[in-house]
């Protein structure tokens, strides 16, 4: 059974930082891209960031460029999202995802999703 489990969310003041982690189990996903999406209350889920299997290519939503950094550790089957200079508009449930390619990620994600972790940024 494939599981993606996010952690690291919480409540931080504006300007603060958080580091999200997503550990996969049940399957290694060799060659797959991984990424993060988020969904704020009353809004549709949106793409945040993605990274290729070898980490050689990343893609970010314009709203997080320069503030968020995605990385991965394939030995640990884990993807990370370092979030700096957080803003109240970053408040959302953050989901990790894995897909067969970067294009899959930027088009809405692949098959496997985590349960989400809440990030709340206070003003």
Does the pLDDT of residue 57 top 90, yes or no? yes
Q: pLDDT tens digit string along 9-44?
A: 999 999 999 999 999 988 878 889 999 999 999 999
Query: At 71, phi and psi to the nearest 5?
Result: -150, 170
Residue 24: closest CA among 94, 101, 114, 89: 114
Q: Is residue 18 within 8 Å of 94, Cβ to Cβ?
A: no
Helix (H, G, I), strand (E, B) or coil at 71: strand
Element (H, E) at 106: helix 102-106
21: Cα within 13 Å, side-chain hemisphere: 9
Does the pLDDT of residue 49 top 90, yes or no? yes
Q: pLDDT tens digit string along 87-116?
A: 999 999 999 999 999 999 999 999 899 999
């Amino acid at each position: 059974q494939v599981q993606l489990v996010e952690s690291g969310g919480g409540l931080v003041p504006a300007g603060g930082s958080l580091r999200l982690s997503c550990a996969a189990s049940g399957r290694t996903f060799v060659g797959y891209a991984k990424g993060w999406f988020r969904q704020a209350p009353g809004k549709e889920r949106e793409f945040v960031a993605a990274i290729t299997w070898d980490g050689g290519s990343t893609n970010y939503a314009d709203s997080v460029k320069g503030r968020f950094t995605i990385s991965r550790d394939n030995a640990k089957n884990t993807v990370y999202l370092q979030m700096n200079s957080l803003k109240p508009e970053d408040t959302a449930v953050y989901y990790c995802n894995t897909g067969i390619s970067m294009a899959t990620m930027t088009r809405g994600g692949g098959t496997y999703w985590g349960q989400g972790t809440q990030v709340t940024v206070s003003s």
